[in-house]
């Protein structure tokens, strides 16, 4: 049973990948092709998100369990407090352990339907991720991760309070954090500074997603909580009618951001893959993180 933390504290640069549970058989095939493609590159861990509905949630358990059973990869399952009583959360955590998953990303989650709608906790549930961190810790020998927000969580008054909240999650027992998608290395590095200034040295992984299509560019604000930085928009927007040129420039932009992060001492990059491996593999290749026989 390998802990994510053991895979982060290595003195070499590495990466992790995030997948979503498959919706159907076709989706499952795409996901497993990506998992197999990336397995050879030895990611530090692979995480699988946790959805809002019942069947999607079961698939997180099934997918992470299969990763644990059938691959050499270290799986991490996401878990949210949305619509769950504490008893149900205990049950899911028990299932994770039963299928061999001992790394959990503990999240509060968003109200189903409208992420900015009113958060209503389950009558027998939890209010904040801090409580879920404590619960997972109580239930066994788990490595626990949490979410971090380089631009500040959208519901939080300001970025200083947001950093206080993140450090509270570390004090509650979280071992590391993964950053929300961010396209500005400086913004991520300033979050790291705020956390260090509060006396915490818990690792924070930047969340990275290659921008390969105009559609993805249009979704950046929704996914990251902030508009595309001007310097990226001015490079990519003129190319929206030329898919090949757009893709090439999108890979360049992300590679350059990763290079800046690595030059500032970041040694683990977390890739949001949307269950595809090609663009992630390309960026990793450009960063020299693909063993030559697999590139
Ligand atoms: P919390 O840390 O509980 O924070 C929620 C809000 O409460 C924040 O505004 C915070 O400032 C505030 N707060 C915290 N503690 C207190 C307190 N004591 N008093 C007052 N206010 C407080 N969502 C999914 O549904 N499934 C996923 O798989 C998933 N994966 C994610 C992975 C990553 C890497 C990230 C960054 C996000 C992910 N999310 C996922 C989205 C996440 O659930 C939402 O962003 C959610 O709004 C915040 O979750 P949290 O765990 O950060 O909550």
Residue 259 falls within a domain, yes or no? no
Q: CA-to-CA distance for 2 and 102, rounded, in angstroms?
A: 8
234-269 pLDDT per residue, tens: 999 999 999 999 999 999 999 999 999 999 999 999
Q: How many independent structural domains does the chain possess? A: 1
H or E element in which residue 222 lies: helix 214-224
Residue in 113, 127, 147 to alter for ligand 1 test, most ligand atoms within 8 A of Cβ: 147
- Ligand 1 center to residue 248 CA distance, Å? 33
DSSP assignment of 103-147: EEEEE----SS-TTS-----TTS-SSHHHHHHHHHHTSS-EEEEE
Nearest CA to ligand 1 atom 40: 109
Nearest to 105 by CA among 34, 18, 184, 222: 18
Residue 233 falls within a domain, yes or no? no
Residue 163 falls within a domain, yes or no? yes
Q: Which segments of the chain have a pLDDT < 50?
A: none
Q: Show the domain range for 52.
A: 4-210+266-275
Q: From the CB of 129, is ligand 1 less than 6 Å away?
A: yes
Using the atom order of ligand 1, give the atom closest to the CA of residue 168.
15
Q: CA-to-CA distance for 15 and 4, rounded, in angstroms?
A: 11
- Ligand 1 center to residue 192 CA distance, Å? 18
Residue 231 falls within a domain, yes or no? no
- Ligand 1 center to residue 204 CA distance, Å? 15
Residue 13 falls within a domain, yes or no? yes
Question: Would you please indicate which residues are annotated as catalytic (active-site) residues?
Answer: 18
The predicted pLDDT at position 55 comes to 76
Residue 248 falls within a domain, yes or no? no
Q: Is 83 helix (H, G, I), strand (E, B) or coil?
A: coil
Residue 107 falls within a domain, yes or no? yes
Q: At 82, which CATH number?
A: 3.20.20.220
Using the atom order of ligand 1, give the atom closest to the CA of residue 148.
36
Nearest to 207 by CA among 238, 236, 182, 176: 182
Residue 9 falls within a domain, yes or no? yes
The predicted pLDDT at position 293 comes to 63
Q: From the CB of 63, is ligand 1 less than 6 Å away?
A: no
Q: From the CB of 107, is ligand 1 less than 6 Å away?
A: yes
Q: CA-to-CA distance for 147 and 179, rounded, in angstroms?
A: 6
């Amino acid at each position: 049973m390998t802990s994510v933390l053991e895979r982060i504290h290595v003195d070499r640069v590495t990466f992790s990948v995030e997948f979503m549970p498959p919706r159907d058989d076709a989706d499952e095939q795409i996901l497993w092709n990506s998992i197999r493609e990336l397995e050879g590159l030895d990611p530090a861990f692979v995480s699988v998100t946790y959805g809002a509905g019942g069947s999607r949630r079961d698939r997180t358990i099934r997918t992470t369990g299969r990763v644990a059973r059938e691959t050499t990869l270290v799986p991490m399952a996401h878990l949210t407090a949305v619509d769950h009583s504490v008893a149900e959360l205990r049950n899911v955590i028990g299932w994770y352990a039963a299928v061999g998953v001992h790394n959990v990303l503990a999240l509060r989650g968003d109200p189903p339907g409208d992420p900015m709608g009113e958060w209503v906790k389950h009558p027998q549930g939890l209010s904040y991720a801090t409580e879920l961190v404590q619960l997972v810790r109580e239930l066994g020998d788990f490595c626990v991760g949490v979410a971090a927000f380089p631009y500040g969580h959208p519901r939080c008054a300001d970025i200083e309070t947001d950093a206080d909240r993140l450090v509270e999650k570390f004090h509650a027992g979280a071992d590391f954090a993964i950053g929300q998608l961010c396209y500005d290395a400086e913004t991520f590095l300033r979050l790291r500074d705020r956390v260090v200034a509060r006396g915490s040295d818990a690792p924070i992984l930047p969340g990275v997603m290659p921008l390969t299509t105009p559609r993805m560019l249009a979704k950046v604000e929704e996914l990251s909580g902030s508009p595309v930085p001007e310097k990226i928009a001015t490079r990519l927007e003129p190319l929206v009618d030329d898919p090949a040129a757009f893709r090439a420039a999108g890979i360049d932009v992300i590679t350059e951001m990763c290079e800046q992060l690595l030059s500032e001492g970041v040694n683990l990059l977390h890739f949001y893959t949307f269950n595809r491996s090609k663009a992630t593999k390309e960026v990793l290749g450009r960063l020299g993180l693909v063993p030559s026989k697999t590139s």
